[in-house]
Amino acid sequence: MQYSLTAAALVASATLCLAAPADISKRSSFVVDQVAAGQVLKSGPIQMMQTYNKYAKVGAVAPSAVVDAAAAAKQSGSVSANPEQYDQSYLCPVSVGGQTLNLDFDTGSADLQSSGHAKYNPSTSGTKKSGYTWKISYGDGSGAGGTVYSDKVVVGPVTATSQAVEAATSVSAQFTQDTDNDGLLGLAFSSINTVQPQQQTTFFDTVKSSLASPLFTADLKHAAAGSYGFGYIDSSKYVGSITYVPVSTANGFWEFTAGAYAVGSGSSSGSIGDAIADTGTSLMYIPTAAVTAYYKQVSGAQNSQNAGGYIFPCSSTLPNFKVTIGGATYTVPGSYINYAPNGDGTCFGGIQANTGIGFTIFGDVFLKAVFAVFDQTQSSPRLGFANQ
């Protein structure tokens, strides 16, 4: 019988192929390049609903306008089928039980999650972890759950020989819609792993002692394949210096404090505040005051009840968005903030309000503008950012 990999961590009870702890030179450092994995439909309302579902576990509640807009988009097939409403999906190849899956590396999750079309066959090399289960329920009633296996998972040259892999025995239709994405590999902290009766560790936490340095980097690109580096920092990937900020692990995320923001050439004002860096979320969700300030500078922009968020004429020129983190300022080009056409001459904004979430999410709209370092080399974790 085949099972689909969904929602929960690559986890740890592992006997790993590790170099001698004292010999740093023999530990691993490597890069995982994203690969083009097919076209995906972009829908702002559906993307927003997916984000609220993802963070329902920490109390996120979607506004009724988002719920209604996402439901309407799904019922109508999202949008009309124009080429401009599709985007290339960029994923990372990972070997799970000898099978290559294209996964989304997700710093906002501690899970390995599958869309459901790619089948994991535990009979190849997996061993069932008796009595272990997992279950995820989302705010819109969707979810998945199943059993847990111990299997070999390989990322780059690093192997976890007894990594826990979660196999779905029940899964909602929402998990099977993207036929090119085989799932996600969680890179948040293991404290939010969903395995019961005993939480397991993420793949990174399992193998970090085998890396030259316990860190990984994200070098994501706008409209192009990016890469993730493990165990080292590639100085050719950024310019200037890396600015680090402390990370709170209290909620299991790469959580930090962001400072003032500015729109276009305007002066800085306000403060973004509590935020997380999430490679598995497409948009930026920031405080309402910052969102309002941004779209005041966009001709024809409106907060649309029907769309569930800010939209604007696709012909409008979007200003850059700047944010200060740890004393350094980073710029998101306006072109990155035009997320997707709605099929009616308007486009959906890549910056939206974090209403109902409780914190800011710096998703791919921001992360594609920077080089990010997820660092556990110090006594407590830290995040580093630099300009690409």
Q: How many residues does the chain have?
A: 388
Nearest Cα residue to 135 out of 161, 172, 90: 172
Cα-to-chain-centroid distance, residue 362: 10
Whole-angstrom distance, CA of residue 357 vs CA of residue 278: 14
Please name the residues in contact with 130: beta carbons below 8 A apart, sequence gap of 6 or more.
none
Q: Which of 104, 219, 278, 364 is catalytic?
A: 278
Give the whole-angstrom CA distance, residue 388 versus residue 374.
Answer: 16
Query: Which residue reads 């009870």 in tokens?
Result: 13
Asked whether 367 and 275 are in contact (CB, 8 A), the reply is no
Helix (H, G, I), strand (E, B) or coil at 147: strand
Give the CA-trace dihedral at 91, 214, 245, 186, to 10 degrees: 30
> Is residue 106 annotated as a catalytic residue, yes or no?
yes
Contacts of 122 (CB under 8 A, 6+ apart): 3, 97, 128, 149, 151, 165, 167
**Amino acid of residue 361:** I
Of 165, 159, 160, nearest to 147 by C-alpha is: 165
> Computed from CA positions of residues 199, 202, 208, 213, in that sequence, does the dihedral angle turn out positive or negative?
negative
Q: Is 278 a catalytic residue?
A: yes
Query: Do residues 208 and 375 lie in contact, with contact meaning Cβ atoms separated by under 8 Å?
Result: no
Task: Please give the Cα distance from 204 to 186 (Å, whole number).
Answer: 8
Quote the CA–CA distance of 278 and 258 in Å, as a whole number.
Answer: 14
Q: What's the CA gap between 309 and 353, in Å, rounded?
A: 8
Question: Which residue in 106, 151, 182, 219 is the catalytic one?
Answer: 106
The answer to whether residues 208 and 214 touch, using CB atoms and an 8 Å cutoff, is yes
Enumerate the active-site residues: 106, 278
